[in-house]
Amino acid sequence: MSRMLEEIRQQPEALARTLAGELRRVERFRRLMEKKRPRLVVLVARGTSDNAALFGRYLLEITTGIPVSLAAPSITTLYEAPLDYRGALVVAISQSGESTDTNLVLERARESGAVTLGITNEARSSLARIAEHVFLVRAGREKSVAATKTYTGQLLTMYLLAYALGGGVRIAELERVPEAVDAALELEPEIDDLSSRYRFMRNAVVVGRGLNYANAFEFALKLMETCYVVAERFSSADFLHGPIALVEQGFPVFAFAAPGKAWSSMNEMLAKLRGLRAEIVSITDPGNRDAEACSTKIIRLPKRAREILTPIPYIVPAQMFAACLAAQKGLDPDRPRTLSKVTRTL
**pLDDT digit string (tens) for 190-205?**
999 999 999 999 999 9
Residue 73 has pLDDT above 60, yes or no: yes
- Which residue in 175, 246, 217 sits closest to 20, CA to CA? 175
pLDDT at 212: 98
pLDDT at 247: 87
User: If DSSP codes are grouped into helix, strand and coil, which group holds residue 231?
Assistant: strand
CATH number among 3.40.50.10490, 3.40.50.12780, 3.20.20.120, 3.40.50.300, domain 3-175: 3.40.50.10490
pLDDT at 181: 98
Residue burial 267-301, b: 16+ Cβ < 10 Å; e: rest: bebbebbeeeebbbbbbbbebbebbeebbbebbbb
pLDDT at 241: 82
- In this prediction, residue 265 has a pLDDT band, given cuts at 50, 70 and 90, of very high
- Mean pLDDT score across all residues of the chain: 94
Indicate where the chain has its CATH 3.40.50.10490 domain(s): 3-175, 184-328
pLDDT at 276: 92
Domain 184-328: homologous superfamily in CATH: Glucose-6-phosphate isomerase like protein; domain 1 (3.40.50.10490)
Total-model pTM = 0.95
Residue 71 has pLDDT above 80, yes or no: yes
Q: Please write down the HEC assignment for all residues of 239-288.
A: HHCCHHHHCCCCCEEEEECCCCCCHHHHHHHHHHHHHCCCEEEEEECCCC
pLDDT at 340: 54
What's the rounded mean pLDDT across residues 220-233?
Answer: 96
- In this prediction, residue 337 has a pLDDT band, given cuts at 50, 70 and 90, of low
Q: Which of 137-146, 181-190, 199-208 has the lowest mean pLDDT?
A: 137-146
- In this prediction, residue 300 has a pLDDT band, given cuts at 50, 70 and 90, of very high
